[in-house]
C-alpha cells in the first residue's frame, strides 16, 4: 500500500478525475489517504484516486496537492489538530494560512519534512477529546463556524456542507462521524421527543422520498445550528426547521439522535 498526505489547506475530493467533476468531499491539510488504482502518486497535472483514512471516503484528488509519505508516519496515533480560526505554517520559508481542524498527526516537534518540502507549524496544538463534551463547549465550537458559506462536499471554514459541519464539530471532541448525513443517522440513541433533546444532539431531516439528506446540531430543544446557504441558527419544532428570518419551513424532521 502507498499513502499520501494533503499539503495544501483544502484538497477537493472529486467523483471523477477532472476539475469539472462533482466535489464529493475534501481532505484538509495534514490528513492522510491510501492510494487506490495502481498504488502510486500520478504525475503533476493529473488526478490520483484515494481513500481517506479518517472516514473511508473515496475519490480523485489533484496529484500536485498531495505528497507521498512513509508507512510509519501513517501509523502514528496522534490526532492533534490546529485549533484556531486561522493557523500559521511555514512552507520552505514562505508563510501559508490553514483553517481550523487541519491535522498535525504526522508532524514531529511541529515539523514535517517530505521530498523537497519543509513544513514548520507555528501555532497552538490541540488534542481532540481533552475538553469535555458539554453544552458550553459544543456551542462554542459550533458557533465558530457561523456564517461559513455552504459548499457541497466542504469540510472547512472556507466552505462546508451540513454533514461536514457535524463531522468537524464532533471531531473536536474526538467523536468520529461518517461523512454523509444518512450514515451518521445510523449512530447513537434515538430521542423520542424534541423537548428531551439537549445541546450536542444531532437532528436529521429527510426529503419527500424519505431519504435523510440533512443534519444539524441541536443547541437546545427549540434551536438548531446547521449549514444551509451558510452556517446559521434557526428554530426547530416537531415538524422541522423554521427559518429564523423568514419563518419559512425549510427542512422536515425525521429523527434526533444522541451520540455522547
pLDDT at 31: 97
Q: Does domain 3-121 have CATH number 2.30.30.40?
A: yes
Percent over 70 (pLDDT), the chain:
98
Q: Look up the CATH number of domain 135-258.
A: 3.90.1720.10
pTM of the model: 0.95
Ranges in the chain annotated CATH 2.30.30.40:
3-121
Return the residue matching grid coordinates 456564517: 147
253 SS3 class:
strand
pLDDT at 44: 64
Q: What confidence tens digit (pLDDT) does each residue in 182-198 have?
A: 999 999 999 989 999 99
Does residue 148 contact residue 160 with C-beta atoms inside 8 Å?
yes
C-alpha cell at 194: 424534541
DSSP string computed for 157-176:
TTEE-HHHHHHHHHHTTT--
Where in the sequence numbering do the catalytic residues fall?
A: 162, 214, 226
pLDDT at 39: 66
Ranges in the chain annotated CATH 3.90.1720.10:
135-258
Quickly count: other Cβ atoms within 10 Å of residue 143's Cβ: 14
Residues of the chain with pLDDT under 70: 38-40, 42-44
Amino acid at each position: 500500500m502507498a499513502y499520501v498526505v494533503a499539503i495544501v489547506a483544502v484538497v477537493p475530493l472529486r467523483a471523477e478525475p477532472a476539475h469539472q467533476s462533482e466535489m464529493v468531499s475534501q481532505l484538509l491539510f495534514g490528513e492522510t489517504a491510501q492510494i487506490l488504482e495502481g498504488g502510486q502518486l500520478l504525475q503533476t497535472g493529473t488526478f490520483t484516486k484515494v481513500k481517506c483514512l479518517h472516514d473511508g471516503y473515496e475519490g480523485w484528488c489533484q496529484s500536485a496537492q498531495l505528497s507521498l509519505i512513509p508507512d510509519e508516519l501513517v501509523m502514528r496515533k496522534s490526532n492533534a489538530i490546529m485549533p484556531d480560526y486561522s493557523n500559521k505554517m511555514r512552507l520552505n520559508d514562505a508563510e501559508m494560512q490553514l483553517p481550523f481542524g487541519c491535522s498535525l498527526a504526522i508532524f514531529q516537534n511541529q515539523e514535517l519534512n517530505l521530498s523537497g518540502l519543509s513544513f514548520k507549524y507555528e501555532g497552538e496544538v490541540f488534542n481532540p477529546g481533552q475538553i469535555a463534551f458539554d453544552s458550553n463547549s459544543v456551542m462554542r465550537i459550533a458557533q465558530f463556524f457561523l456564517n461559513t458559506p455552504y459548499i457541497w462536499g466542504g469540510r472547512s471554514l472556507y466552505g462546508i456542507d451540513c454533514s461536514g459541519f457535524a463531522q468537524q464539530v464532533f471531531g473536536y471532541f474526538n467523536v468520529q462521524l461518517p461523512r454523509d448525513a444518512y450514515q451518521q443517522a445510523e449512530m447513537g440513541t434515538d430521542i423520542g421527543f424534541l423537548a428531551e433533546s439537549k445541546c450536542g444532539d444531532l437532528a436529521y431531516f429527510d426529503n419527500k422520498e424519505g431519504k435523510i439528506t440533512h443534519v444539524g446540531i441541536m443547541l437546545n430543544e427549540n434551536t438548531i445550528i446547521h449549514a444551509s446557504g451558510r452556517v446559521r441558527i434557526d428554530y426547530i419544532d416537531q415538524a422541522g426547521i423554521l427559518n429564523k428570518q423568514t419563518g419559512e419551513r425549510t427542512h422536515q424532521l425525521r429523527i434526533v439522535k444522541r451520540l455522547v
